[in-house]
Structure 1
Amino acid sequence: MYDDDDTTFSLVSTASVTDATSVTTRTELENADDDIDFEIDDATSDFESGWEVSSGPSTSVPPSVYEDEIAYGRRYHGFRRGIYPMPNDEVERHREETVHALFLQLMGGHLFYANIGDYPQKIIDIGTGIGIWPIDVADQHPSASVIGTDLSPIQPPWVPINVRMFIEDSEEPEWLHGSDFDLVHFRQMTHVFRNLQGLLTKIYPHVKNGGWVEFHELIFEIRCDDGSMKEDDPLRVFIETMKNGLRVYGINILTINELEQILGEAGFTNVHCITKKVPISTWPRDKTLRALGVFMKTTINDSLGAMAAKPLAALNLSPAQRVAMLEAARESLDDTSIHRYINCCVCYAQKREGHYAETLY
């Protein structure tokens, strides 16, 4: 059910039309090789969902919301164009579906760990992507009004009746979705925000007393415990180089390592941070770990082309250098004699007194 606070929803953006259309991709990052295709994609949107643009009064929906940017053979968000250097096309959709399956497997079928009770009323997923998480949550919790927000209108046209989707930049100063949330959810979003603590401080008053925030994150540091990975492993080198490229855009992919502290500074307590090793590829003997390894390998493989586009171009690497790094990383990814893994983290915290932290390996 919807409470009276939902009257804060509207159909327009807090940004003016001028603001929304003037934020463009950093032209200095886009060289004359824009036509280099790192993935094959039709660069067209198959999604005409019932999205709204969240906002305050007296502005109109900017056309740029629906005008995708095409670069390096990939499709990127049109609203606030260029602030997030990863695509929103079919390859990315497949990656998000795989990540969803990975976390379901990793979390024993749970969509979240926070104890929000049997009849939650308000749940929001910030940076929802293709909207798969809020759709599943809405099906499981018909009592709840479930919101998904994102820069890209790439969700399916049909969603459960208790789901609403909004186009927005979540780092705008105003919060426009009401209060008394049982759960605020993020997946692979800690590295996206320029000021995560500021965002959480903004969100805090709108979480109900006893409500939760929860993060699901892949920590992109390629690790190995048995010496089978060399220091100059091409996949590891590629990921480390990509991180440097993202920093040009103001993105720190390792903010997740500071998440427990950031949550505390934003006022949240009762913090749980659970970290688990997830193998890359099928090298483990354990069947469950092998299944996770398949999901992780697929996730990374689907990410490599996007990482080789804008992030590596931001470092002024030539097309030939980027293609060479991409091919070497993919070849290395297929080598099951290298026992690599990355850490996955589920971190959740509550708006109440108390503190608890946990790390599982």
Structure 2
Amino acid sequence: MQDGKITLAHIDESVQKVLDVGHMGNVDTPEQALSDFADQYPHAEVIGVDISPSQPQWIPPNLKFEMDDITQPWTYAPNSFDYIHMRWLIGAIPDWNALFREVFQTLKPGGIFESKESSCIIQSDDGTVPYGSAMDQWGRVFIEAGRKFGRSFQPLEENLQVLAMEAAGFVNIKVYNMKTSLGPWPADPKHKEIGQYARLALEQDIEGFIMYMWTTVLGWTREEIAVYAAHLRRELRSPQYHAYYPQRIVIGYKP
């Protein structure tokens, strides 16, 4: 969520059909955020799609979850959705232009597309994330892995969302940039809380984020990953690192 809002797009009560790819959310669990969205728009049919199964014990009657690979040709009817939302597809998309063309075709005229992506680069504005630190190494290793298997881990740095939206034909494109802190170092209470959640999410499953890719694609051993994870956790818990990662929300409209 952004400032208590599930989405930054302006969606009115006339919305009838919604598709969510990767599932909405930020601090809340993605499934809960999507359930909240369905509750907020009870007259809309809401579909959550992901490549892995996701089915909470209780969901609103107007929400359903589906398994599908969105990098393949879509089977949804053209001009059938009022709003499509995507998030956290970094490193998963071989062709952003092709994906956004599918979104454009599937939206109704006047439909809204909202894309939220994050950078893999952990950085600081005050030099407290130095070159060669575990935090600095995080993004560099993902970028290297992406180059080897043909997936970009730099959607923000390469401006992929905006370029792909423009190429697909979207208009009135709006861009919102933000920083997500890692740890409770910010003075602002809201950003301090976000930083605590973001640090916890990363710290709890560092190995889960990197194990397959760093071992299979880059040849790291499990022992090397364990050592790296220990260094990263130590830095995440240290107050001397004022770390964050950039995020970007891009909203476009189908003419």
Q: TM above 0.5, one fold? A: yes
- Tell me, in whole angstroms, the C-alpha distance in 1 between the residues paired with 2:89 and 2:138: 21
- Secondary structure of the equivalent of 1:221? coil
What is the match of residue 101 of structure 1? none
Among residues 109, 128, 142, which one is paired with 2:42 in the alignment?
142
- Tell me, in whole angstroms, the C-alpha distance in 2 between the residues paired with 1:303 and 1:243: 19
**Cα 1:245–1:288 shift into 2, 3 Å:** same
The one-character-per-residue Cα deviations of 1:20-54 (angstroms, maximum 9, x if unpaired) are: xxxxxxxxxxxxxxxxxxxxxxxxxxxxxxxxxxx
Alpha-carbon contact 1:281-1:294 (below 8 Å) kept? yes
Q: Any residues of structure 2 matched to 1:104-115 within 5 Å, and which?
A: 104=1, 107-115=2-10
Alpha-carbon contact 2:91-2:146 (below 8 Å) kept? no
Unaligned 5+ runs, structure 1 = 1-103, 353-361
Among residues 160, 164, 173, which one is paired with 1:271 in the alignment?
173
What is the match of residue 211 of structure 1? 111
What is the match of residue 142 of structure 2? 242
The one-character-per-residue Cα deviations of 1:126-177 (angstroms, maximum 9, x if unpaired) are: 1339633332211100110001111111221332111122111112224225
Alpha-carbon contact 1:222-1:236 (below 8 Å) kept? yes
The one-character-per-residue Cα deviations of 1:214-259 (angstroms, maximum 9, x if unpaired) are: 1122222111111222211112213321332244443211123321
Alpha-carbon contact 2:78-2:105 (below 8 Å) kept? no
Q: Which has the larger radius of gyration?
A: 1
- Tell me, in whole angstroms, the C-alpha distance in 2 between the residues paired with 1:348 and 1:292: 23
1:127 aligns with 2:22: yes
- Tell me, in whole angstroms, the C-alpha distance in 1 between the residues paired with 2:31 and 2:222: 33
What is the match of residue 171 of structure 1? 71
1:301 aligns with 2:203: yes
Cα offset for 1:190? 4.3
- Secondary structure of the equivalent of 1:333? helix
Alpha-carbon contact 1:116-1:182 (below 8 Å) kept? no
Cα offset for 1:178? 5.4
The one-character-per-residue Cα deviations of 1:287-344 (angstroms, maximum 9, x if unpaired) are: 1221121122123223411233111102111222111111111111111111111112
Among residues 276, 281, 286, which one is paired with 2:188 in the alignment?
286
The one-character-per-residue Cα deviations of 1:92-133 (angstroms, maximum 9, x if unpaired) are: xxxxxxxxxxxx2xx111111112212310100113396333
- Secondary structure of the equivalent of 1:255? coil
Unaligned 5+ runs, structure 2 = 25-29
**TM-score normalised by L of structure 2:** 0.89
- Tell me, in whole angstroms, the C-alpha distance in 2 between the residues paired with 1:318 and 1:180: 47
- Tell me, in whole angstroms, the C-alpha distance in 2 between the residues paired with 1:279 and 1:250: 29
- Tell me, in whole angstroms, the C-alpha distance in 1 between the residues paired with 2:78 and 2:47: 11
| RMSD, aligned CA | 1.9
- Secondary structure of the equivalent of 1:330? helix
**TM-score normalised by L of structure 1:** 0.64
